[in-house]
Amino acid sequence: MMDTNFDIKCTFPTILVTGGAGFVGSNFLRYMLPRYQSYHFINLDKLTYSGNSNNLFDIDQYKNHHFIQGDIGDPNLLDSIIRDYSVDIIVNFAAESHVDRSIKDPGIFIQTNVNGTQVLLGSAVKHGIKLFLQISTDEVYGSLQDEGVFTELSPLAPNNPYSASKASADLLIRSYSNTYGLPFNIVRFGNTYGPSQHPEKLIPMTILNALNDQPIPIHGQGMSIRDWVFVKDNNAAINTVLHSGKRGEIYNIGSGEEKRTIDVVHYILEILNKPKELIRFIEDRPGQDYRYANYPAKIMNELRWKPEYQFEEGLHLTIEWNMKNKDWWKHTNKVLG
């Protein structure tokens, strides 16, 4: 049974998107809504600091989108949503996602990313959900040195509370598939960037601080290396797995655009014509991972997805969006520094 796909091309499914007011979730809805107007999207988000209702201003125009404010950790709410809206598919974006915050307060990451996922899985099994699609991260694999890449067969070796909580959720999903027969897919993507990303993340923080001539804090000497994926490429990959993925499989999403943190910051400062003297090197975070490199050969070869955006193009689009949407990021109350 796990080798067959739920053929959503021939039906009109209802998809519960959790965390749909966050960065990746709202961009996913923005990608999907105009393409699949016969589908019904239920958007459940708690609207914590990273869930921004402003992300929904251009989404609410779609009649096939319905927003509900609520917590994935509330089993009664989940049961009522899945039952009342006849939900077929769950796409779980809901998560606490910032490494620094996880180091300061690991408990909330366990509560949302582990316990919340478990509650969501329980409702999925109870109501016979046809597909549980988990949005995960390459950080569950730990850290690489200068050589090698992450594949779907790489062992899980998380090095901080955030990545450990995401790895735990992935393992729970696997166990619910094996124990209860829940159909699932997991996608693990590299560092995603693009419009409407919370300014605690490197790229929007650098853009906004530079525009305001504020110091730009960089951990250590900025030598850590990440694989950068533009959010539209990420959306397309998730959609590909949703429609064509072999159930019970994990797919890495990567771009091959590996960049050092310091080089990313230099690119942004050069585009904005801002001085490098804005950079402030600060103490490296505990347990900092050196390098991530997510190898997407499986999704490229089996499902024919490939990234369309080169890093420089995606970065220019992200900068342009932030410059044109200053009212959006002012909700965060301050520019990080």
Q: Which residues of the chain have pLDDT under 50?
A: 1-4, 333-337
Would you state the pLDDT for residue 60? Answer: 82
**CB 203, CB 282: distance < 8 Å:** no
Report how far apart, in Å, the C-alpha atoms of 110 and of each of 64, 76, 78, 113, 160 are.
32, 20, 19, 5, 12
Would you state the pLDDT for residue 331? Answer: 60
Whole-angstrom distance, CA of residue 14 vs CA of residue 215 = 46
Would you state the pLDDT for residue 299? Answer: 98
Would you state the pLDDT for residue 200? Answer: 85
Q: What angle do CA 182, 255, 305 make, to 5 degrees?
A: 55
Whole-angstrom distance, CA of residue 284 vs CA of residue 308 = 33
**CB 208, CB 322: distance < 8 Å:** yes
Among the listed residues 28, 5, 56, the one whose alpha carbon sits nearest the alpha carbon of residue 239 = 28
Whole-angstrom distance, CA of residue 35 vs CA of residue 101 = 35
Given phi > 0 = left and psi -120 to 50 = alpha, else beta, which region is 86?
left
Measured from the Cβ of residue 244, the count of other Cβ atoms closer than 10 Å reads: 14
| Angle between helix 202-211 and 311-324 (nearest 10) | 50
Active site residue ranges: 138-139, 162
Whole-model pTM: value is: 0.93
**Contact partners, residue 212, CB within 8 Å, separation at least 6:** 335
Whole-angstrom distance, CA of residue 194 vs CA of residue 230 = 6
| Residues, the chain | 337
**CB 6, CB 88: distance < 8 Å:** yes
Would you state the pLDDT for residue 9? Answer: 53
What structural domains and CATH numbers belong to the chain? 13-193+227-253 (3.40.50.720), 202-224+258-332 (3.90.25.10)
